Amino acid sequence: MSHIVPQQKMSRAAWALLLLLSVIWGASFLSNRAAIEQVPVLTTVAFRVTGAAVALWAWIALRRLPLPCDPGLIWRFAVMGVLNNVIPFTLIVWGQSHVPSGLAAILNATTAVFTVLVATFAFADERLTLRKGVAVLLGLAGVATVMGRDAVTALDPASAGQLAILGASLSYAFAATFARSAVKGLRPEVSAAGMLTAATFFIIPAALLTDGVPTLDYRPATWIALGYLAFAASALAYLLYYAVLARAGAGNLSLVTLLIPPFAIALGAAVYQEALSPRAWAGFGLLALGLLILDGRLGLPRSHRKKAREVSTASR
């Protein structure tokens, strides 16, 4: 969803929260890889959304936050749960069974680019300006550089994994666009809890039908990964996300998109000795340049840099 807000100055506390959020979401790619060594894809996603929903409802009860009474929110939460959780989480986890964590994080950063394109067609007030157009072209060039020509022609598991992660980014973009009006006015914690709860009604039956009843006989490292995905990368990350948004504004919050891949790359290299090709680094450079232009940090005269910024609010 696109927000028009004035740029705010970043305090030390806001920077600390932003970096913490980037580390948490960067480590989620590492946790995905660790989890699927023992747990099937859909079951991994089911653990994540169910645990996160329980944690957020506990937070809401502890804070005694008001709950909405509009029955029409049920179907909106269902759409959000599918677009923002079920589809992207599943595609990313499956994709990571074929591609390194760092590469998955780079491809996932295209969410902001896809959000611009989807919003352009969905809303009359979201025109594709010259700045946005240049940013989108750079972002797409970055994706093409990362994936290479063989990603479409070869259709091997690695290529399929990359395309799956791009599909997740596109799903996030549709979710962000839908959320612009669907959950307007709701407390962010309630909105997040509602969509995660709706997601459980889709993913748990799908996981049971596809993977069967989980054995729960997992290694400690697997349980840590599953717990991290649910409670840190989802529930806590949502709370941190909106805390940074309140402290620093949407323009500064958009930096998280650029900070996640380096952390994911570093963690993948440290734990699994993953190494990215020069082509992947070059593609990330183009994508990062496009995101900085899209955000307004590059390509505008100094007098205009304090004007409105745009950021996608889709989660990782």
Each domain of the chain, given as residue ranges in start order, spans 12-304
Query: In this predicted structure, what is the pLDDT of residue 79?
Result: 96
Which residue(s) pair with 309 in the sheet?
5
Query: What are the tokens at 272?
Result: 């699994």
Query: In this predicted structure, what is the pLDDT of residue 316?
Result: 58
- Alpha-carbon gap, residue 80 to 201, rounded angstroms: 12
**C-alpha closest to that of 234 among 42, 86, 64, 15:** 86
How high is the mean pLDDT in each 10-residue block of the chain (316 residues)? 50 88 95 96 98 97 90 92 97 95 93 88 81 88 82 74 94 89 82 95 97 94 97 94 81 82 93 89 90 73 42 46
Q: pTM (2 decimals)?
A: 0.88
**C-alpha closest to that of 192 among 228, 248, 240:** 240
- For 258-315, the DSSP string reads HHHHHHHHHHHHHHH-----HHHHHHHHHHHHHHHHHHTSSSS-GGGTTS-B------
Angle made by CA atoms 201, 224, 315, in degrees to the nearest 5: 50
Query: What are the tokens at 229?
Result: 């995905």
